[in-house]
A and B are shown apart, each in its own frame.
Chain A
Amino acid sequence: MSLVLSIATTHIRARLRQTLVGLLGVATGVGFSVMMAALMEGSQRDFVAQLVDAMPHISVTDQRREPPPQPAEDAFDAVEIHGLTTPVIRPGIKNPYAIIASIESWLPGAVAPSVQSKAVLRFAGRDTAASVIGIDPRREPNVSKLATQIVTGSLTDLYKSSNAIILGSGLAQRIGARVGNSVTVVGGNGRTISATVVALSRTGINQLDESQAHTLIKTAQILAGQTGLVNEIRVRTRDAMSAREIAQRIEAETRYKSVSWLEANEDLLAAFQIRNFIMFAVVGAILLVASFGTYNIISTITHEKTRDIAIMKSLGMQARTVRRIFVLEALMIGVMGVLAGWALGYAMSLGMGQVEFKSPFMDATRLPILYSPMHYLLAGGVALAASAIAGFFPARKAASLQPVDIIRGAS
């Protein structure tokens, strides 16, 4: 064992209680940092995952970011237009399957169309408003979780009868309909069809389950009175993070507005960054406070060991060697604290993961915890750096001591 190490160990061993206190300070700091990071990033990831899962990564709609070009602009290089209204264009995406085919030709991911329409469900003499969404059962599972949210029946049951409908579980309950029942659906312009309930869906979000119904594209188009048009083409990219670039390309190619989930939730993602900043500030403060304890211990040891330091220096030990002894002591407290802190943080994360949350708006959930080695390395690294700094200042003071001052006084 090196001289520095053996002296440092001796000092630490002779002060078990103080060491333990310092160690607990670091451990608490590291433990809470790890747990907080696990919780914060866990909930953030969970939220984003839910967002990414629940939403199409890219939504292509018939809106445009700019008004469509005037015919004169197509004809001339430069025109100035006064007093003209923008040309009227019909809402909806034309030739959806041609567009889907062209996107699919290069897209890493999946594409599905949908038609949104407002309707009134009439059953057992009562009217209930609902949003009826037309989907393509073969494509839908690739872009949304609807297929997994069917609780009775299946998505392909939509093909079973000419006008089939899947009701949200809450909606079905509200109107009292069951699978096999026939409901009357009244569309926007009074178009009425009779549809058979073939399945029930359940997302776990009450608001959706009480208001949504799904049909085939064709059925929804009839209800909305827009044969051949869809309202939205949803794209699910293989890599959710590349959605922004892909959306730009789709928009450039189709000239339909394509909004990635990143763009749609920009404010939310910015809020996460602020939240992360706050977390880092708090974690930093915790670890800083923990290092005060270490500073205190090393200061105390250097004071108690003034005489030993003097004799070591008088014998010819270099100042940097003396400094190393006390920085090493701080690091030893730091390392033990970090190890204990990791265990504490892991245990607290496990505990937090057991906490169940009940909400009237959602199914009960557990706190989402993210176990990431990065959190442990980061908290450990910061704690060790703080320990080294906490040890450095008293160590430097101790190392600069003039042995003759102490020896003169003691002889």
Chain B
Amino acid sequence: MSLPAAAPLVRPLIETRGVTRVIGGDIPTTLVAGIDFAVQPGEFVAVTGPSGSGKSSLLYLLGLLDKPTTGEVYVNGKATSELSEDARAALRLSSLGFVFQFHFLLPEFSAMDNVMLPMRALGKLGDKEMKARALDILASLGLADHARKRPDQMSGGQRQRVAIARALANDPLVILADEPTGNLDTVSSGQVLSIMRNLADSSRVDYAKAIIIVTHDLDLAAKADRRVHIVDGRIAAPALQND
């Protein structure tokens, strides 16, 4: 790959400074410790590490689903720790897209309605535009014929692709995926993998978006531009793995 990893003098889309998360209780547990990490527009970063090393915990902090005990998370240059619950939710809705290991689709709604959910919550588009956009995204992920199906009428791979479509619904700045292929067979994994790579390629064209994937799938990690390895809640080695 000859493309540059990141354009210089561009503000990171997501950045952490000294982020530590300790969970209280009788025996306090440190989930992540002293993470300094930045993702530039156009980047596709894989977060790897052994099971229980704190990869998911880091992703939740990056995704404003959790708050650091100390340190700060910046989204598009904006400090987030002082934001209200509602403001953090609003930022998630407009700027972040999540894909989890489990698809988390609403079971009673069609693929289409699931994809439209974030759009409707944001309320920027009219009904027709939302439908058209949802269909577009589903079609681009090879789900044109499944738009009307409910999650229980689809295969695991299809469901996960609907979940990716939902993450893309509001055209987020950063897509955060936590083991998106963890529950999938090889074929479906391959599909999800190439979808992620395509997304990364298209976002690299205009340097507008970034993708962060937590995985211990080495094939998937290999597709990333950069790897961040976590051990015991810390970044183990500088990003040497960059090809």
Within 8 A of A (CB), among B100-138: 100-102, 104-109, 113, 117-118, 120-122
> Does A249 have its Cβ within 8 Å of any Cβ on chain B?
no
Is B92's CB under 8 angstroms from A10's CB? no
Query: B74: CB under 8 A from chain A?
Result: no
Residues of A within 8 A of B63 (CB): 314
A404 interface residue per 8 A CB criterion: yes
Taking a contact as CB atoms closer than 8 A, the residue among B56, B92, B118, B120 that contacts A411 in the complex is B56
Contact yes or no, A404 B92, CB < 8 A: no
Evaluate contact between A316 and B118: CB separation under 8 angstroms. Answer: yes
Interface size, A (range): 20 to 34
Known: A308-B106, A407-B60. A315 touches B100 (CB 8 A): no
Contact B100 A404, beta carbon cutoff 8 Å: no
- The reply to whether A403 and B117 form a contact with Cβ atoms under 8 Å apart is no
B90 located at the interface, meaning its Cβ lies under 8 Å from any Cβ of chain A in the complex:
yes
Contact at B85–A404, with CB atoms within 8 Å? no
Q: Report A-chain residues with C-beta under 8 Å of the C-beta of B102.
A: 410-411
Q: Shortest distance in angstroms between B66's beta carbon and chain A's nearest beta carbon?
A: 5
Complex contacts, A403 vs chain B, CB 8 Å: 65
Q: How far is the CB of A12 from chain B (nearest CB, A)?
A: 11
Residue of B nearest to A320 (CB): B86
Given A403-B65, A404-B60 in contact, is the A315-B178 Cβ separation under 8 Å?
no
Neighbour of B93 across the interface among A10, A307, A316, A407, CB < 8 A:
A316
Q: A411-B101, A411-B102 are in contact. Are A314 and B121 (CB under 8 A)?
A: no
Closest-CB distance, A310 to chain B (whole angstroms): 8
Min CB gap A407→B, angstroms: 6
Q: Which residues of A contact B204 (CB under 8 A)?
A: none
By the criterion CB–CB under 8 Å, are A411 and B100 in contact? yes
B118→A315 contact, CB < 8 A: yes
Contact present for B89 and A14 (CB under 8 Å): no
Say whether chain A's binding surface is mostly helix, strand, loop, or mixed: helix
Which residues of A lie under 8 Å from residue B90 when comparing CB positions? Answer: 316, 318
A313 is an interface residue with CB less than 8 A from chain B = yes
Within 8 A of B (CB), among A311-349: 311-321
Is A65 engaged at the interface, CB distance under 8 Å to the other chain?
no
Identify the closest chain A residue to B96 (Cβ). Answer: A316
Query: Shortest Cβ distance from B17 into chain A, in angstroms?
Result: 21
Instruction: Check A316 against B65 for contact (C-beta < 8 Å).
Output: no
| Residue contact A411 to B89, C-beta cutoff 8 Å | no
B161 within 8 A of A: no
B117 lies within 8 A of A312 (CB): yes
Question: Are B66 and A314 neighbours in the complex by a CB distance under 8 Å?
Answer: no
Assess the B93–A315 pair: CB atoms within 8 A.
Answer: yes
- Do A316 and B121 touch (CB < 8 A)? yes
Inter-subunit contact B60/A316 (CB<8 Å): no
Q: Is A408 an interface residue (CB 8 A)?
A: yes
> Are B65 and A315 in contact, CB atoms less than 8 angstroms apart?
no
Per-position 1/0 for A112-141, Cβ under 8 A of B: 000000000000000000000000000000
- Residues of the A chain whose Cβ atoms lie less than 8 Å from the Cβ of B179: 411
**Chain A residues positioned under 8 Å from B94 (CB to CB):** 316
Interface contact B98-A315, CB-CB below 8 Å: yes
Q: Is B38 an interface residue (CB 8 A)?
A: no
Q: Can you name the residue of chain A whose Cβ is closest to the Cβ of B127? A: A1
Q: Which residues of A contact B107 (CB under 8 A)?
A: 308
Say if the beta carbon of B91 comes within 8 Å of chain A.
Answer: yes
Partner of B85, one of A310, A312, A319: A319
Tell me the bound Cα distance from A6 to B110 in angstroms. 12
B166 CB–A CB distance under 8 Å:
yes
Chain A contacts for B85, CB-based, 8 A = 319
For residue A411, which residues in chain B have a CB less than 8 angstroms away from its CB? Answer: 56, 100-102, 178-179, 182
Residue of chain A at shortest CB distance from B86: A318
Q: Does residue A3 face the partner (Cβ distance < 8 Å to B)?
A: yes
How near does chain B come to A291, taking the closest CB pair, in angstroms? 26
* Interchain nearest-CB distance for A252 vs B (Å): 68
Q: Which of A19-37 contact B (CB under 8 A)?
A: none
In the bound complex, how far is the Cα of B206 from the Cα of A26, in angstroms? Answer: 58
The residue of chain B having its C-beta at the shortest distance from the C-beta of A315 within the complex is B118
The residue among A7, A14, A321 with the most chain B CB atoms within 10 A of its own CB is A7
- State the CA gap A242–B178 with chains docked (Å): 79
What residues of chain B lie closer than 8 Å to A312, measured between beta carbons? 106, 117, 121
Chain B residue nearest in CB terms to A400:
B85
- In the complex the two chains form, what is the Cα distance from A310 to B118 in whole Å? 14
Is there contact, CB below 8 Å, between A3 and B121?
yes
Q: In the complex, what residue of chain B is closest to A319 when comparing beta carbons? A: B85
Closest to B214 in A: A411
| CB-CB under 8 A for A317 and B89, given A3-B121, A311-B106, A407-B100 | yes
The residue that A316 contacts in the complex, of B92, B104, B113, with Cβ under 8 A, is B92
Task: Take A3-B120, A10-B108, A407-B100 as given contacts and tell me if A319 and B92 are in contact as well, using a CB distance cutoff of 8 Å.
Answer: no
5 nearest A-B residue pairs (beta carbon): A316-B93, A316-B92, A311-B104, A3-B120, A404-B65
Beyond contacts A3-B120, A316-B121: 12 other A-B pairs, Cβ-Cβ < 8 A, are A6-B113, A13-B108, A311-B104, A314-B104, A315-B166, A316-B94, A317-B89, A318-B86, A321-B121, A407-B60, A407-B100, A411-B101
12 CB < 8 A contacts A-B? A2-B120, A10-B106, A10-B109, A14-B108, A314-B65, A314-B98, A315-B93, A315-B166, A316-B91, A316-B92, A316-B93, A320-B86
- Give me the interface of A with B, judged by CB distance under 8 Å: 2-3, 6-7, 10-11, 13-14, 307-308, 310-321, 403-404, 407-408, 410-411
